[in-house]
């Protein structure tokens, strides 16, 4: 069974921070030490400012809010040995699909793809 991933990982968060509004993030990666070698996820709360050197982080729910209405995420049944997820978006007269090991990865890939095509 696949591990459940609730938030973008550190590398995904760094990429998305360059593409998306930082206000769309619903959490932060916060460094545990001054060397910034270990991090933990902190959920945003009203009235609490972003910690210094924190990196914005997105949950699956936040990613779905960014994607266009009608976005679907389903388990890909074509590969029975590897559990994969497919994210599909209908754009104009086309359907765009991305795949990931979990729904978060599939959504991140879709956001990057839509951004590259200037559709987001």
Please name the residue that has the structure tokens 């590398």.
Answer: 11
Q: pTM of the predicted model, to two decimals?
A: 0.88
H helices present in 10-75, as ranges: 10-19, 60-66
What pLDDT digit, counting tens, does each position of 36-63 carry?
788 889 898 877 777 778 899 999 999 9
**pLDDT for the residue 25:** 95
Residue spans per domain, the chain: 10-116
Nearest alpha-carbon partner for 6 in 71, 64, 84 = 64
**What is the Cα–Cα distance from 93 to 119, expressed in whole angstroms?**
13
pLDDT of residue 113 exceeding 90: yes
Nearest alpha-carbon partner for 62 in 85, 86, 32, 41 = 41
What pLDDT digit, counting tens, does each position of 65-108 carry?
999 998 999 987 776 677 789 999 998 888 999 999 999 999 99
Neighbours of 67 (CB within 10 A): 17
**pLDDT for the residue 32:** 84
pLDDT of residue 2 exceeding 60: no
User: Do residues 84 and 67 lie in contact, with contact meaning Cβ atoms separated by under 8 Å?
Assistant: no
């Amino acid at each position: 069974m696949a591990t459940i991933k609730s938030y973008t990982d550190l590398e995904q968060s760094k990429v998305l921070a360059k593409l998306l509004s930082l206000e769309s993030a619903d959490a932060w990666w916060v460094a545990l030490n001054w060397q910034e070698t270990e991090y933990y996820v902190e959920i945003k709360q009203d009235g609490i400012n972003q910690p210094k050197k924190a990196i914005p982080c997105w949950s699956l729910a936040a990613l779905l809010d960014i994607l266009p209405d009608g976005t679907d995420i389903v388990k890909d049944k074509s590969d029975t040995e590897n559990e994969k997820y497919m994210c599909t978006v209908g754009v104009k007269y086309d359907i765009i699909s991305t795949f990931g090991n979990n729904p978060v990865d599939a959504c991140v890939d879709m956001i990057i793809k839509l951004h590259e095509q200037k559709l987001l």
